[in-house]
Structure formats: C-alpha cells, structure tokens
Amino acid sequence: MHCGRFIDRGLTRRELLSRSANGFGALALATLLNEQASAAGGASLPRAHFPAKARNVIFLFMDGGPSQVDTFDPKPRLTREHGKPISVKTHPTQFNNVGAVLGSPWKFRPRGASGIPVSDLFPHVGARVDDLAIIRSMVSNFSEHTAANYFLHTGSGLQGRPSQGAWATYGLGSESRDLPGFVVLNGGLIPPGGIDCFNSGFLPAAYQGSVFKATGAPVANIAPAEGSAELQKRKLELVRALDQGMLGRVGNHDAIEAAIANGELAFRMQTAVPDLMDTRGESAATLRLYGFDDPYLPTQIYARECLIARRLVERGVRFVELLCPSVGGDRWDQHSGLKSGHQNNARAVDQPIAGLLTDLKARGLLETTLVVWAGEFGRTPMAQGTDGRDHNPFGFTIWLAGGGVKGGVIHGATDDYGYHAIEDKVQIHDLHATMLHLLGVDHKRLVYRFGGRDMRLTDVHGEIITPILA
C-alpha cells in the first residue's frame, strides 16, 4: 500500500471541463480580500509593528518532503556506509520498512562565490546560491503528510487553523485593490490536507487563500455568467438601483452597504484576474529565463507559476504560495524510486525558481520579496526498502532568499547521517516568527481572540532566526 502516491487523474481532461459551461466551483474566490470590504467584518487591522524588510512573500511549497541529503545537505558518511545497516537508533516511520544506509545518487559541488555545496539536482538554483540562506537544521513535529502540512502552513498539526498567508494578510492587509491578498497557485497537486492548508480558520473568510489554477480558467465564478459584458453591466445596474431602494427603506446598515461595495469589487475582479493570468506581454527572454521553452511539461507549468508569482507581487498581493505540478509519478514523496522521482520533481522546479530569483533581482523586487523554499519534512538517510526514503521530520533543509535575509549562508547542521538536526535547531514556529518579523510584524502581537484564547500563528512558541537576517 502506498501513502497515497499521487495518481494523475488526467489534468488535461479537467482543464477542458473547467472551460466548459459546467466548470465552476472554487472556494478560491471566497478570499478576494479588499480592505474596504473586509473592514465590514469589524476587525481593526493592525499595521506593521516595525519597519518591514519584506513587503511580499512567495512560498515555494515542496509538497511531499524533498530529501535534504540529496539536495542541500551533503553527507559523505552515507556514501561511505552505503548498503550497511544504520548505526543509530531509528524512529518509527510512516512505513516502518527500514532498509540500509542509502548514499545520495547525486554529486554535490561547491557553487557561487560562497562555495556552498548544492547537489546536481539543482544546478540552476545552485547558481543562485549566493542569494540563499540555507537552513539545514529544520525540524517538524509530525511524520504524516497531512499533519505536517497543516503544521508548516498553520503552526498546528490540526485541521482548521488559519494559514500563514491568512495571518499575514490579516495582519497587514493587501496592497492590491482588485485581487485577494493571499493567492495560492495550483500547478496540479493539492497537498494532503487539502485546501485547509490555505484556509482562514477562525479568521474572517476574507483572509482565506484563493486557489488559482496555474493553467486554464484560474478560478471558479470569475467568468461572467452572461454571454456579453454589456448584459452583465445592465443587470448589475438594475441590482444597484434596487439595492439603493432597499437602503432607502431600511436605513444605512453597515453590513448591507458593505455587501453592496463587495459587488463592485467582484465586478472588477472579473477583469483583474484574467489580466493577471495573461502573460502575452512578457518578453521572449523573460519566458526563456523561467523555462517556458523547456520541453518538459511540468517545467512549463511551474515556470508559469513562478512568472505569475512575480506578477502577483507586482500587483501588491501580500502572500503567494506555489504548489508543485504533477510529474506523473509522485510529489517529492519518494518512498521508492528516489532517483527518478526526485530527478523529475527537481527538473520541474529548478529552472523556474532560479528564473524567478533572477527576474526579481533584476527588477529590484527581490529586496522586498521574501522567497521561501520548504517541504513539510525531509527524508530518512536510510532507505525505505531498497531505493526509497521515508519521512523524516527530525532534521531537514529549507532555504530563504531576498526580503531581508542574508545570501550565501548556511544556518544549523544535522548529524553525520543527516538524520537529526543537532546544531541551531529551527522549529516551524521559528520560521513563522521570522517570516512575520521580516514583514514587520511581531508574531507575539499578531493575535486573534478565539475560543477563549488569544491565538497566534506561532502558538506560544517562535524565536526569530536572527543569524540569517541581513
């Protein structure tokens, strides 16, 4: 039995469906944050607590858990002891099929001026290593995808808590008038735990992540139901007239007036969203930079996600999260077939991510945009079976770039096997605290009263990772 190996159910067919008359749905649009509109919720928005280094966040979610020892955390001991039993006590794992030590199939090389080693899985990102702050001592509290996904996204292993993007937009609002403040680009893989990874939990619905599909119709209910824009305009005029009549009768109630204002915003979004997704104005060089011309379809999809991420940032969208495209086999969850699985997943994202970093920097946006690359956990140094790796939350690697972090640095370390973080351990809560800090928000003061408690993204934890701050 698998741990839910992703089975591609035919993205193309779905894409087709989504364009047909029946294609609708999307809770996505539940979000569409606009400050005037959300003010009707009665929540007063806290402003930044101190000057921000970053205005926006692009969160590159590496669904499934990439292996630290095959990407950014070289462990020669694995190669030396390849095929031998591991000589430390192992923890229970998701599959409990513990095999021998598994050396990395990829070579590590020093890259950039900093000479930080990055494996051959990431040649393009490796070339940008001087922009990265690599954290090799990340830990999580959960070994199962769903709980770990909720934890990485919401600071709690349970369903129903607000996502980091929801907290960020709740705290800072959005700078976009026509788009939601928290957008998730769906390249094909909705992670285990589903859309609740991006939900607003007990925060008002305005802060939910809006899930936009990277290709095809981006979101439900965005295309006017009417055949012509003219007709829709005429209908909305009548709606407006009738609503004014109601206000005249019942008096000026905030809730009703705000609902009317929302209708206006919804109308604007119908053009703002297609405009966002329309990349025809981008130069051929830009498209090449991101990897649009790569023959590999998943690379093309992720290239588009990365480019749209930049366009979202340009439009003032506060928090952007990118989901991986399907490479046919599985997400970064190689319980077996590590070599081909990781190769394909890396191929899909490597050049687009490097392109994004390059492009942001060239446009002067990297300084104010925090880019975070993270999976929900890492993978075991010993094999699962013979050629896979199981889940490992005890020590793994993530990296940050831009938006107020140092480039070309390594923070923390794992043991010789790359199994446990042993130096400068970083908790998910610390990552959240740091992201908020860079956005100018004190994670201890960003609170929302729910169920008798002042809730925080970082619960009662979180320390800022000061050594990586620029």
Partner 1 sequence: MNARESIGERGVRAIARGALLVFFTQAWGFQAGWGEDKTQGSVEYFEKSVRPILAARCLGCHGPEKHKGGLRLDSRQAIMTGGTSGPAVVPGNPSESALVDAINYGEAYQMPPKSKLPASEIAALTDWVKRGAPWGFEPSGAIAGKPVAAGDRLSAEEFRERARFWSFQPLKRSAVPRVGMGRPGWVRNPIDAFLLAAMEERKLEPAPEADRRILIRRLSFDLLGLPPRPEQVAAFLADRGPDAYDRLAERLLASPHFGERQGRHWLDLVRYAETSGHEFDYDIPGAWGYRDYVVRAFNADVPFDRFTTEHLAGDLLAEPRRRFGTGSNESILATGFFFLGEGTHSPVDVREEEMRRIDNQIDVVSKTFLGLTLACARCHDHKFDPITTNDYYAMAGFARSTRIQHAVIDSPETRMAAIRRIKALDQAVLARVPPARPAIQPATAGEGELFEDFSGPSYGGWFVSGEAFGDRPSQAGDARLAWDRSGARLRPVAPGIAHSGLVADGFEGVIRSRAFTITSRFVNVLAMGRGGRVSVVVDNFEKIREPIYGSLTRGVDHGDSWRWVSLDVGMWKGELAYLELADGAVADFTGATTTITDGQGYLAVDEIRFSDARAPEAHEVADHSLDLDAVVRELDKVNSRRAGELSRALEQARSARDQLPRPTLALAAADGTGLDEHVHLRGSYRTLGEVVPRRFLQVLGGLDQATAPPGRSRLDLARRMIDPVANPLLARVIVNRLWRHHFGEGLVASPDDFGAMGKKPSHPELLDWLATELIDSGWSLKHLHRLMIESSGYRMASAPVARYEALDPGNVSLHRMNPRRLEAEAVRDLVLAVSGRLDPRMEGPSVPVHLTPFMEGRGRPSRSGPPDGEGRRTLYLGVRRNFLDPFLLAFDMPVPFATMGRRNRSNVPAQALALMNDPFVAREARRWADRALDRPASDRARLDDLYQAAFARPAGDAEAQAALDFLADRAGAGATPRDAWADLCHVLINTKEFVFIE
Residues 421-460 that bind partner 1 (CB under 8 A): 422-425, 449, 451-453
Beta bridge partners of 101: 382
Calculate the dihedral angle through the C-alpha atoms of 146, 151, 157, 161, rounding to the nearest 10 degrees.
Answer: -100
Kindly tell me which of 28 and 371 has the beta carbon lying closer to partner 1: 28
Least Å distance between CB 197 and partner 1? 10
Least Å distance between CB 52 and partner 1? 23
Answer for the pair 167, 457: CB distance below 8 angstroms, yes or no: yes
Instruction: Please identify which residue in 103, 181, 192, 325 interacts with partner 1, judged by CB under 8 A.
Output: 192
Least Å distance between CB 237 and partner 1? 9
Residue numbers 194-253 binding partner 1 by CB under 8 A:
194-196, 199, 201-202, 204-206, 211, 213, 219-226, 231-232, 234-236, 238-239, 241-243, 245-246, 249-253
Least Å distance between CB 387 and partner 1? 17
Kindly tell me which of 232 and 286 has the beta carbon lying closer to partner 1: 232
By CB under 8 A, which span of 1-9, 63-71, 72-80, 398-406 interacts with partner 1? 1-9
Kindly tell me which of 25 and 83 has the beta carbon lying closer to partner 1: 25
Length of the chain (residues): 470
Least Å distance between CB 70 and partner 1? 22
57 lies in the site for partner 1, by CB under 8 A: no
162 lies in the site for partner 1, by CB under 8 A: no
Quote the tokens at residue 410.
């390594």
CA distance 288 to 95: 41
Answer for the pair 376, 152: CB distance below 8 angstroms, yes or no: yes
Nearest to 95 by CA among 333, 419, 414: 333
CA distance 4 to 380: 18
Nearest to 370 by CA among 398, 409, 401: 401
Residues 6+ apart with CB under 8 A from 251: none
Kindly tell me which of 41 and 46 has the beta carbon lying closer to partner 1: 41
Beta bridge partners of 57: 319, 370
CA distance 56 to 175: 10
Instruction: Please identify which residue in 171, 193, 291, 381 interacts with partner 1, judged by CB under 8 A.
Output: 193
Q: Strand 426-427 and strand 132-139: pairing?
A: parallel
Binding mask 257-276 for partner 1 (x = CB under 8 A): -xxx-xx-xxx-xx------
464 lies in the site for partner 1, by CB under 8 A: no
- Cα distances (angstroms) measured from residue 29 to each of 255, 270, 313: 19, 11, 18
Kindly tell me which of 295 and 452 has the beta carbon lying closer to partner 1: 452
Instruction: Please identify which residue in 119, 146, 300, 380 interacts with partner 1, judged by CB under 8 A.
Output: 146
Angle between the N-to-C axes of helices 229-250 and 254-277, in degrees from 0 to 180, rounded to the nearest 10:
160
Instruction: Please identify which residue in 163, 186, 358, 369 interacts with partner 1, judged by CB under 8 A.
Output: 186
159 lies in the site for partner 1, by CB under 8 A: yes
- Cα distances (angstroms) measured from residue 461 to each of 166, 432, 444: 19, 10, 9
Least Å distance between CB 221 and partner 1? 4
- What DSSP assignment string belongs to 190-208? PPTTGGGGG--TTS-GGGS
Residues 6+ apart with CB under 8 A from 248: none
Answer for the pair 86, 381: CB distance below 8 angstroms, yes or no: yes
Total number of residues that touch partner 1 (CB under 8 A): 108
Instruction: Please identify which residue in 25, 76, 85, 274 interacts with partner 1, judged by CB under 8 A.
Output: 25
By CB under 8 A, which span of 68-76, 77-85, 166-174, 419-427 interacts with partner 1? 419-427
41 lies in the site for partner 1, by CB under 8 A: yes
CA distance 378 to 138: 9
Least Å distance between CB 2 and partner 1? 8
By CB under 8 A, which span of 7-15, 107-115, 339-347, 398-406 interacts with partner 1? 7-15
Residue numbers 369-408 binding partner 1 by CB under 8 A:
391
Least Å distance between CB 183 and partner 1? 13
Quote the tokens at residue 163.
């996502």
Kindly tell me which of 251 and 295 has the beta carbon lying closer to partner 1: 251
Kindly tell me which of 53 and 145 has the beta carbon lying closer to partner 1: 145
Q: Please state the φ and ψ torsions of residue 289, each to the nearest 5 degrees.
A: -55, -40
